[in-house]
Structure 1
Amino acid sequence: MIRFTLWICMALAMTVPSNAGLVLAKVFTDHAVIQAGKPVKVWGTAVSKEAVTVQLGGITQKVSADDSGHWLATFGPMPASYQSFDLKVTDGHQTLTCNNLLAGEVWLANGQSNMQWALKQSTGGREAIKSCDDPHLRFFHHLGTLHPGSKKYPREFLARLNTNNYYQSNGWEPCDAKSAANFSAVAYFFAKKLRETLDVPVGIIALPVGGSPIEAHLPNDAFTSNPELKPLLHHWWKNPDYPQWCRQRAALNLTHWLADPEKGKAPPHPFAPTFLWQAGIDPLLHFPIKGVIWYQGESNATVDGGRGAAMPKAINHVKLVALINAYRRHWSDPSLPFYHVQLPGMNRDWMLFREMQDEVTHELTNLGMAVAIDVGHPGNVHPPDKQPVGSRLARLALSQVYGKNIECHGPLPTQITLRQSEVVIRFTHAKGLRSVDGRAPKTFELAGDNGIFHPATASIKKDSITLTSEEVDQPVAVRYAWADHPDVNLVNGSWLPAPPFRRKIK
């Protein structure tokens, strides 16, 4: 209760107008990491038409605020370096200074609770915290002032909550036991591997919100430009096409607001369409980043966000593509790297969602998917082992963005042939193809013309797997790990797992 009250007070305090004429964008604080190799924009507000001098390192720019008081200064790209520098901004009346900045690699981490899951809560997290100190690894951690838990929020709090004051942050913080403990475990392990391999400063901006649907992370133009998504903007809190679990949780949080709604206004809630984009992404769009890591889907994969039926695959495909394109469009970078996590194994109907994630990965460029089918938990939507997930995301970035000679994929089926009653699957990324336990590969199935799948016996030979089934004389289809929580064991020599798949045999 103390924590909840504090968050309310912080949110209300942010609505009080500041007497300061000169304001710097919130992403600029002490210890900030600036993306190396890209033009640097520094921005903020001041008195209308006021002259503003901006000094970044040893370079000075003079600009003027426009009629609305906004100003922006642009500097040339900076090389990655451990040599710190300062940012100083003055309008002749006030001077704002940010100390100990670094140029390096900046990534944005977003999604819902599995991206938010703290390092201290994760498998091996407390041991990692003991040796995590690294002044060149830095976090910018956004925390939402309304956590969508099972609470009814006071009306006075809801009345003042908006996208301008939703996120709270302590600013950029160097990695130490205190800052790392509550930071995203996935993002921490991702960043740690980048630091170890690249030997440059790394900064992570984290904005995930537990339970949030993908709709909350989309910008307005993603809805208005797409006839399949546009209807979701209409009365989202009672729209039957909006994710059911999110509507139900929001209805509980908004009990007092919905009892006496403000005429003409939608209820303020982080699950609302566009809310988290407006609150978290819009304020960052001038700030250059290297790429995005994304872990989300649990709230969208099934009709009720739980053990109900799977959502139609097509609409989730539209939403994920819209999200990726939105990041690239709004950052004016059509090839912005985007790496996402395939939903892990759990006793929920997530097979179609996983397949959709895999299909999108192969349709768009500069996109990669970290397979997590082997690190799930049958009854826990928050599997605690986050280190493999963060490491696999980092492998994708290191290989595809930074050109490192490192395997970033598990075995991927590339050719399927029928030899009498045997099916032979050839894989790419199959060097050292093996099972983790030394036994025959599990969870392969074959089906005949009747469409009924039966377990198949699998054997490994070099980069291929041969399948047979006594119940299927003439196989026409094969699938692997096609279950809620499959017991998988197929990996390559880098111990990266094969993703679930299903294919017709031609």
Structure 2
Amino acid sequence: MVTVAFAGQEKSTIADENGRWEIILDPMEASGEGRNLVISAENKKVISDVLVGEVWICSGQSNMQMSVDAVPDIKALETRAKNIRSFEVDRTVALSEAEDVMGKWSDDVPKSAVAFSFAYFLEKAGDVPVGIIQSSWGSSSIEAWMPKDMTEQFGYFDTIMKDFDADTVSQNRITKILEKSSDRSNEDDIFLRRQPNILYNAMMKPLAPYAVKGLVWYQGERNTRYISGVPKVNKDNWFHKVSGMKEYGDVLKAWVSRYRKQWNNEDMYFMVVMLPGYGKGTVENPKIDPNDPTSQSWAWMRESQLKASELPKVSVINTIDLGDVENIHPKDKLPIGQRLGLEAAKKTLGKEIITDGPILERVERQKRSLIIHYANVDILKTADGKSPKGFWITDESLQWKPAKAKVKGRTVVLKSKEIKNPLYVRYAFSGKPDVNLVNGADLPAYPFRTDTGDE
């Protein structure tokens, strides 16, 4: 018999033959008052200073892992933070699904700049304690965080896993690295985190079914190496064996659904951080014009990421106005944390806040112009008071030309002397677009394209 007592509740259950048990307490009001949670069986364990609030998992690769210390304007918030707790999952791997996870709760703020700033703004907007479970690792692909049974949904992942399982050299190397405990070289560290599936096994699966409101996902850079398809690899670029940008969206949607199944929670909310501006292309075409709407750029990844919003209770946080043309690890993380925090307060706590920028509603053709109608706008304007930037239009030739754009009410009117019969438009569809279109809350308009081609 096991009994749990907390905040006036007391519930009991019987442990199974393996000593496993679970008790689900009734929902309770958020509270910043630290109280004791008492577990009684043959002995008694007291977990002290337990708060009740919103718990979120923050996961992804290096931009999620980036330290608070690396971002001064987020570091400055530390002294003003309250009622924020953190649990950082130790970075390791497992060749099979693990039962336990290594880490501990702390009353320190999360070490991640994005995770902390998200928690900070959520706590302020929601007036509720926030607990962050940080589980991220630099240069990891989405495949690293996928459970093995997703091979049943995706043939490419099935191939990847069959190759991995048959690779006894890598398996043995992983085992030897893990035996070193914490004494790992940087080369060993990179080798572990760039493998498929085994991060999920060690760093995500054991977290379920911890009661969480949702998961923030800031990942995708590893999957931008190719526009489409899984390339053939050799011993030098083995870590390129991941899905391409065009496939990523379908994988991401299935991944969200699979995680909800793992947590047995269809209401589990997901917030995907759109990849911000970056001026380099793919492995095949690394040097690009960061404003060119036809280059093999991160625009294709953002389009894939936006597919996730087709699912209920999924938000894609717009970062198209952020980023660095040369640095894959930009420092402008504060707006990301703020947008995440406000979005969570609105979508999961019911706060009345404007959290999204203008979103394409429809396109109207009118003589030699295209009229872009926007939803989610009280006021449509530009951040700098100049004409809107980042719009390109084309006709049947598919020769894209920059458009002259003008705000008219809640629409943008596009023209080009070079395009007499415009048919399609692309907005902010490039690696590092120069954009300025915002709403009254100064939130950026979402990127889009209306053509369906692959070029």
Which bin holds the TM-score, normalised by the shorter protein?
Answer: 0.7 to 0.9
Equivalent position to 1:191, from 119, 135, 138: 119
Corresponding residue number in structure 1 for 2:47: 98
Equivalent position to 2:225, from 302, 317, 341: 302
**In structure 2, do the counterparts of structure 1 residues 161 and 369 end up closer, same or farther at CA, with 3 Å as the change threshold?**
closer
- AA aligned opposite 1:293: V
**In structure 2, do the counterparts of structure 1 residues 346 and 268 end up closer, same or farther at CA, with 3 Å as the change threshold?**
closer
Q: Does 1:174 align with 2:174?
A: no
User: Is the 1:317–1:356 contact (alpha carbons within 8 Å) kept by the matching residues of 2?
Assistant: yes
Equivalent position to 1:352, from 300, 304, 310: 300
Taking the TM superposition and a 5 Å limit, the aligned residue runs for 1:35-74 are 51-74=1-24
**In structure 2, do the counterparts of structure 1 residues 163 and 271 end up closer, same or farther at CA, with 3 Å as the change threshold?**
farther
Corresponding residue number in structure 2 for 1:217: 145
- Which 10-residue stretch deviates more, 77-86 or 184-193? 77-86
Q: Does 1:342 align with 2:258?
A: no
Separation in structure 2 between the aligned mates of residue 403 and residue 450 of structure 1, nearest angstrom: 47
Corresponding residue number in structure 2 for 1:321: 253
Separation in structure 1 between the aligned mates of residue 410 and residue 153 of structure 2, nearest angstrom: 45
- AA aligned opposite 1:95: K
User: Is the 1:237–1:272 contact (alpha carbons within 8 Å) kept by the matching residues of 2?
Assistant: no
User: Is the 1:123–1:385 contact (alpha carbons within 8 Å) kept by the matching residues of 2?
Assistant: no
Q: Does 1:390 align with 2:337?
A: yes
Equivalent position to 1:124, from 65, 69, 73: 73
- AA aligned opposite 1:174: D
What whole-Å deviation, never above 9, does each CA across 1:100-159 have from its counterpart, x for those lacking one? Answer: 101111111111111111111114133223x2341x11111223158xxxxxxxxxxxxx
- AA aligned opposite 1:202: V
Separation in structure 2 between the aligned mates of residue 167 and residue 433 of structure 1, nearest angstrom: 48
Corresponding residue number in structure 1 for 2:393: 446
- AA aligned opposite 2:353: I
Equivalent position to 2:202, from 257, 279, 286: 279
- AA aligned opposite 1:184: S
Q: Does 1:202 align with 2:130?
A: yes
Equivalent position to 2:318, from 348, 356, 371: 371
Taking the TM superposition and a 5 Å limit, the aligned residue runs for 1:447-486 are 447-486=394-433
Separation in structure 1 between the aligned mates of residue 133 and residue 29 of structure 2, nearest angstrom: 20
Taking the TM superposition and a 5 Å limit, the aligned residue runs for 1:136-155 are 136-145=83-92
User: Is the 1:435–1:441 contact (alpha carbons within 8 Å) kept by the matching residues of 2?
Assistant: yes
Equivalent position to 1:497, from 444, 452, 455: 444
Separation in structure 1 between the aligned mates of residue 252 and residue 434 of structure 2, nearest angstrom: 27
Q: Secondary structure at the match of 1:375?
A: coil
Corresponding residue number in structure 2 for 1:85: 35
**In structure 2, do the counterparts of structure 1 residues 236 and 126 end up closer, same or farther at CA, with 3 Å as the change threshold?**
same
User: Is the 2:92–2:192 contact (alpha carbons within 8 Å) kept by the matching residues of 1?
Assistant: no
**In structure 2, do the counterparts of structure 1 residues 408 and 237 end up closer, same or farther at CA, with 3 Å as the change threshold?**
farther
Q: Secondary structure at the match of 1:235?
A: helix
Corresponding residue number in structure 2 for 1:31: none
User: Is the 2:100–2:206 contact (alpha carbons within 8 Å) kept by the matching residues of 1?
Assistant: no
Taking the TM superposition and a 5 Å limit, the aligned residue runs for 1:264-275 are 269-275=192-198
What whole-Å deviation, never above 9, does each CA across 1:168-188 have from its counterpart, x for those lacking one? Answer: 42x22224xxx45xx111111
**In structure 2, do the counterparts of structure 1 residues 132 and 278 end up closer, same or farther at CA, with 3 Å as the change threshold?**
farther
Q: Which runs of 5+ in 2 are unaligned?
A: 178-189, 232-236, 281-296
How far is the alpha carbon of 1:166 from its aligned partner? 9.7
Q: Secondary structure at the match of 2:258?
A: helix
TM-score for both structures, normalised by structure 2: 0.83
How far is the alpha carbon of 1:218 from its aligned partner? 1.4
**In structure 2, do the counterparts of structure 1 residues 75 and 426 end up closer, same or farther at CA, with 3 Å as the change threshold?**
same
Corresponding residue number in structure 2 for 1:10: none
What whole-Å deviation, never above 9, does each CA across 1:263-289 have from its counterpart, x for those lacking one? Answer: xxxx99333332222212222212111
What whole-Å deviation, never above 9, does each CA across 1:44-92 have from its counterpart, x for those lacking one? Answer: xxxxxxx433333333333333222222223222221233321222332
**In structure 2, do the counterparts of structure 1 residues 85 and 222 end up closer, same or farther at CA, with 3 Å as the change threshold?**
same
- Which 10-residue stretch deviates more, 213-222 or 69-78? 69-78
**In structure 2, do the counterparts of structure 1 residues 166 and 439 end up closer, same or farther at CA, with 3 Å as the change threshold?**
farther
Q: Secondary structure at the match of 1:65?
A: coil
**In structure 2, do the counterparts of structure 1 residues 212 and 504 end up closer, same or farther at CA, with 3 Å as the change threshold?**
closer
Corresponding residue number in structure 2 for 1:150: none
Q: Secondary structure at the match of 1:497?
A: coil
How far is the alpha carbon of 1:254 from its aligned partner? 6.0
Between the two proteins, the alignment pairs up a number of residues equal to 409
**In structure 2, do the counterparts of structure 1 residues 191 and 454 end up closer, same or farther at CA, with 3 Å as the change threshold?**
same
Corresponding residue number in structure 2 for 1:247: none
User: Is the 1:392–1:408 contact (alpha carbons within 8 Å) kept by the matching residues of 2?
Assistant: yes
**In structure 2, do the counterparts of structure 1 residues 383 and 327 end up closer, same or farther at CA, with 3 Å as the change threshold?**
same
- Which 10-residue stretch deviates more, 288-297 or 194-203? 194-203
Corresponding residue number in structure 2 for 1:425: 372
- Which 10-residue stretch deviates more, 192-201 or 61-70? 61-70
User: Is the 2:99–2:206 contact (alpha carbons within 8 Å) kept by the matching residues of 1?
Assistant: no
Separation in structure 1 between the aligned mates of residue 259 and residue 148 of structure 2, nearest angstrom: 12
Q: Secondary structure at the match of 1:124?
A: helix
Separation in structure 1 between the aligned mates of residue 57 and residue 37 of structure 2, nearest angstrom: 22
Separation in structure 1 between the aligned mates of residue 15 and residue 345 of structure 2, nearest angstrom: 40
Separation in structure 1 between the aligned mates of residue 244 and residue 192 of structure 2, nearest angstrom: 25
Separation in structure 1 between the aligned mates of residue 88 and residue 412 of structure 2, nearest angstrom: 45
How far is the alpha carbon of 1:314 from its aligned partner? 4.2
- AA aligned opposite 1:220: K
Separation in structure 1 between the aligned mates of residue 391 and residue 9 of structure 2, nearest angstrom: 61
CA RMSD of aligned residues (A): 2.8
- AA aligned opposite 2:414: L
